[in-house]
Amino acid sequence: MRKRIAVIDRQKCHPDECGNYLCAKLCPVNRSGTECISVGEPDKKARIDEMLCTGCGICPNRCPFGAIQIINLPETLTKDPVHRYGENMFELYLLPTPVFGSVTGILGKNGIGKSTALKIMANMLKPNLGHYDNPPEFKEVINYFKGTETQKFLERLHKNEITLSYKPQQVDLIPKQVKGTVRDLLSKINSSEELMGVVEKLQLTHFLDNEIATISGGELQRVAIAASVLKKANLFLFDEPTSFLDIKQRVKVSEFIHDLADDKTAVMVIEHDLIILDYMTQYLNIMYGQEGAYGVVSGLKATREGINAFLEGYLREENIRFRDHAIKFEKSQDSRGAIPMPLVSWPEMKKTLGKFSLEIGAGTLHRDEVVGILGENGIGKTTFIKILAGMIKPDSGVVDSSVKVAYKAQYLESDSEIMVSEFLHRAVEKYSNQLIGAMDIEQLLTQKLSELSGGQLQRVAIAHCLSQDAQLFLLDEPSAYLDVEQRLKISKIIRAFAQERGITVLIVDHDLMFLDYISSRLIVFSGAPAVQGTMEGPFKMEEGMNKFLRDLNITLRRDMTSRRPRVNDVGSVKDREQRSGNKWYYS
Ligand code: SF4
Ligand code: SF4
């Protein structure tokens, strides 16, 4: 059994630019005459023989492009991987467990094989037990899991007793693959009465006859969910079903997915919004490992204990510590010691855009604060931000335009050929520790923007915005594409950066825990999407949350162990107590 793996990112390996296989020249095993690092065929990239590698650590440190990872595997991994993509490539250990009658979540950071695991469960990827050059028969794979629930599941899968439906992660690719209206797409899958029931529950009615190419990200997400549940299946797999959705829609979709599970139906979900994951699932498989190198699936856990173990970074049953620190939730700061210094004030304002009208209440933003913005999609949040940024003029009222504003857009341009180091030159020069180092961007500097994943691009876009010469920073949906750990880490970095530079940061986001963690005050939007919006605030945290949660009709408490926010079950003792005391938000 191998104790370590060597992973080479082929995209980052440029033998012509590193001094002609620098790694091979430096490797002590090669220098002693044995070919541990060699030239791979047919791509001529470096290859490492894992059986010969001594794990000296020289090549990962010296490769100028950060293309090599040498990883000592946990000692508890005594079996071969379930799947390996190829030589010196990512490998996955164990599989998640679907539970019939329940919704099971998969929780873990990006790049450790969550989607790979779901694709195996969905029969879209045949596991090779690490033998990528000589894949085994499926029966051998079943045998590998002998005596476990996964064995029973794979046997049923093999006997065609499992019918799967899979909602992919990247719903933004749908318009490239499917033409026609939403109704055309859905009626091809299921034309029965069930169709209209699903359409109603997922609130698709008002855009049912719109072309797929013209609908928004949040609408596409709900269409993709509708398309998967309209298929006849007894195992539903949802890969990130709430991205692009606002909080109200997230709660609705969670309830919808939760209700799909019955004695004959199992549901599995990958989700990074921890409040929503907690609300939607009964069980969890935690995944840990090294980004881009390997991933391990934990045993099944009850959701509450599973999320707390994930935050703790320690799996008691497996006796594995997968993070050297626990993630802690401090109480949100709704008041600061120093007397606040105003940065920008605005009077009551109005703006009409086509059929949509926005009313903005008067308010003030202070220096050195992070203010969260809460509200549904299509309610005017981006319009308000653009008015503050001077990009749109209000119909009435004037904003002090002497404040310099930097803006990170909601949708990120990913097709640019610019190098990350060039795009971030100001951040590299001025904030190399606070932004580049803190946000783990160093190893991305030698890549082009077009080569980055969604989460990498998001981190780069945030660093770019925060490095600008401005006083007011507007970040539109900074949590999108980030995993739970990254969301909490970025919150801390933004808060510390605001304090250090004495700047003001406005954050529009739909992850309630992220906003709760990062904000010191809140702006709240209400109204009817695409028709009328009203903006009020900034409020103190408790006042703003109470206002928003009352409108959402949910109450939030803090978990006794981890202090993380949790949604109360409607009608539970805690829920009734908080509602009657008008405390929708825990204090
Ligand atoms: Fe050069 Fe790094 Fe590729 Fe080795 S892995 S050949 S050092 S670029
Ligand atoms: Fe060679 Fe392994 Fe050392 Fe790299 S880590 S230089 S492959 S022995």
Assign residue 460 the CATH number of its domain: 3.40.50.300
Q: Residue 287's CB: how many other CB atoms inside 10 A?
A: 25
Are 499 and 483 in contact, with CB atoms under 8 Å apart?
no
Interval between CA 72 and ligand 1 midpoint (Å) = 20
Give the pairing of strands 103-107 and 283-290. Answer: parallel
Q: What is the pLDDT of residues 376-400, one digit of tens each?
A: 888 998 888 788 878 888 998 888 7
295 DSSP β-pair partners: 92, 289
545 lies in some domain: no
Least confident segment among 218-232, 403-417, 538-552? 403-417
Are 476 and 482 in contact, with CB atoms under 8 Å apart?
no
328 lies in some domain: no
Give mean pLDDT, residues 141-154: 90
Are 196 and 249 in contact, with CB atoms under 8 Å apart?
no
Interval between CA 35 and ligand 2 midpoint (Å) = 11
Is residue 306 pLDDT above 60, yes or no?
Answer: yes
What's the CA gap between 480 and 242, in Å, rounded?
10
Q: Residue 352's CB: how many other CB atoms inside 10 A?
A: 11
DSSP H helical ranges for 324-435: 381-388, 420-423, 425-430
Cβ within 8 Å of residue 192, ≥6 positions away: none
Are 416 and 503 in a shared domain?
yes
* Token representation of residue 424: 């971030």
Contact 554 CB / ligand 2 (< 6 Å): no
Are 309 and 366 in a shared domain?
no
Q: Whose atoms come closest to the Cα of 57: which ligand?
A: 2
Interval between CA 23 and ligand 1 midpoint (Å) = 6
* Token representation of residue 355: 């059929």
* Token representation of residue 316: 């008691």
| The pLDDT of residue 2 | 63
| The pLDDT of residue 398 | 82
Please classify residue 160 by burial: count the beta carbons closer than 10 Å to its beta carbon, then call 0-12 exposed, 13-18 middle and 19+ buried: exposed
Nearest to 265 by CA among 484, 77, 98: 98
507 DSSP β-pair partners: 372, 475
What's the CA gap between 480 and 490, in Å, rounded?
12
223 lies in some domain: yes
Nearest to 414 by CA among 355, 460, 463, 469: 460
> C-alpha dihedral over 455, 460, 464, 466, to 10 degrees?
60
Is residue 460 pLDDT above 80, yes or no?
Answer: yes
Q: What is the CATH number of the domain that holds 53?
A: 3.30.70.20
Question: How large is the greatest C-alpha to C-alpha distance in the chain, in angstroms?
Answer: 78
Alpha-carbon radius of gyration of the chain: 25
Q: Whose atoms come closest to the Cα of 46: which ligand?
A: 1
- The amino acid at residue 350 is K
Letter string b/e over residues 55-83, b meaning 16 or more CB atoms within 10 A of that residue's CB: eeebbbeebebbbbbbbebbeebeebbbb
83 lies in some domain: no
Q: What Cα–Cα distance (Å) separates residue 494 from each residue in 377, 475, 504, 537, 572? A: 24, 10, 10, 21, 36
Are 421 and 531 in a shared domain?
yes
Which ligand 1 atom sits closest to the C-alpha of 21?
6
- The amino acid at residue 438 is A
Are 176 and 312 in a shared domain?
yes
Pocket of ligand 1 (CB under 6 A): 8, 13-15, 18, 21-23, 46, 63, 65, 67-68
pTM above 0.75, yes or no: yes
Are 361 and 444 in a shared domain?
yes
Are 518 and 559 in a shared domain?
no
Task: Look at ligand 2, atom 6, and give the residue with the nearest C-alpha.
Answer: 27
- The amino acid at residue 391 is M
Is residue 332 pLDDT above 60, yes or no?
Answer: no
Give mean pLDDT, residues 245-270: 93
Are 555 and 578 in contact, with CB atoms under 8 Å apart?
yes
Task: Look at ligand 1, atom 4, and give the residue with the nearest C-alpha.
Answer: 23
77 lies in some domain: no
What's the CA gap between 525 and 219, in Å, rounded?
20
Contact 53 CB / ligand 2 (< 6 Å): yes
Least confident segment among 156-165, 230-239, 401-410, 555-564? 401-410
| The pLDDT of residue 587 | 60
Task: Look at ligand 1, atom 2, and give the residue with the nearest C-alpha.
Answer: 63
| The pLDDT of residue 334 | 46
Nearest to 310 by CA among 112, 107, 483: 107
Are 289 and 406 in a shared domain?
no
Give the pairing of strands 283-290 and 83-84. Answer: unpaired
Q: Whose atoms come closest to the Cα of 22: which ligand?
A: 1
Interval between CA 58 and ligand 2 midpoint (Å) = 6
Are 384 and 431 in contact, with CB atoms under 8 Å apart?
no
What's the CA gap between 458 and 141, in Å, rounded?
38
Interval between CA 27 and ligand 1 midpoint (Å) = 11
Interval between CA 86 and ligand 1 midpoint (Å) = 18
Domain count, the chain: 4
Is residue 191 pLDDT above 80, yes or no?
Answer: no
Are 384 and 243 in a shared domain?
no
Is residue 414 pLDDT above 80, yes or no?
Answer: no
What's the CA gap between 67 and 46, in Å, rounded?
9
| The pLDDT of residue 200 | 92
Nearest to 236 by CA among 98, 92, 94, 96: 98
> C-alpha dihedral over 59, 60, 66, 68, to 10 degrees?
90
444 DSSP β-pair partners: none
Nearest to 492 by CA among 517, 522, 456: 517
- What's the pLDDT band for 330 if we cut at 50, 70, 90? low
Interval between CA 19 and ligand 1 midpoint (Å) = 8
Task: Look at ligand 2, atom 7, and give the residue with the nearest C-alpha.
Answer: 53
Are 136 and 273 in a shared domain?
yes
Contact 37 CB / ligand 2 (< 6 Å): yes
Which ligand 1 atom sits closest to the C-alpha of 19?
1
Q: Which uninterrupted H or E stretch holds 556?
A: strand 556-558
| The pLDDT of residue 51 | 92
Which of 321, 350, 382 corresponds to the end of one domain? 321
Is residue 85 pLDDT above 50, yes or no?
Answer: yes
- What's the pLDDT band for 412 if we cut at 50, 70, 90? confident
Give the pairing of strands 294-302 and 91-93. Answer: parallel
Are 513 and 564 in contact, with CB atoms under 8 Å apart?
yes
231 lies in some domain: yes
Mean pLDDT of the chain: 90
Q: Residue 108's CB: how many other CB atoms inside 10 A?
A: 26
548 lies in some domain: no
Interval between CA 62 and ligand 2 midpoint (Å) = 10
**490 or 412: whose pLDDT is higher?**
490
Percentage of the chain exceeding pLDDT 90: 60
Which of 257, 292, 321 corresponds to the end of one domain? 321
Are 238 and 159 in a shared domain?
yes
Q: Which domain holds residue 493?
A: 342-540
> C-alpha dihedral over 244, 247, 250, 252, to 10 degrees?
-140
Nearest to 70 by CA among 402, 294, 248: 294
Task: Look at ligand 2, atom 3, and give the residue with the nearest C-alpha.
Answer: 56
Are 310 and 346 in a shared domain?
no
Contact 59 CB / ligand 2 (< 6 Å): yes
Q: Whose atoms come closest to the Cα of 37: which ligand?
A: 2
- What's the pLDDT band for 335 if we cut at 50, 70, 90? very low
Are 431 and 302 in a shared domain?
no
Contact 58 CB / ligand 2 (< 6 Å): yes
Query: Phi/psi class of residue 21: alpha, beta or left (left: φ > 0; alpha: ψ in -120 to 50)?
Result: left
| The pLDDT of residue 17 | 92
What's the CA gap between 80 and 73, in Å, rounded?
11
Q: Is the peptide bond before 538 cis (omega within 30 degrees of 0)?
A: yes
Q: Which uninterrupted H or E stretch holds 189?
A: helix 182-189
What's the CA gap between 366 and 506, in Å, rounded?
11
Interval between CA 55 and ligand 1 midpoint (Å) = 16
Cβ within 8 Å of residue 220, ≥6 positions away: 171, 172, 174, 175, 212, 244
564 lies in some domain: yes
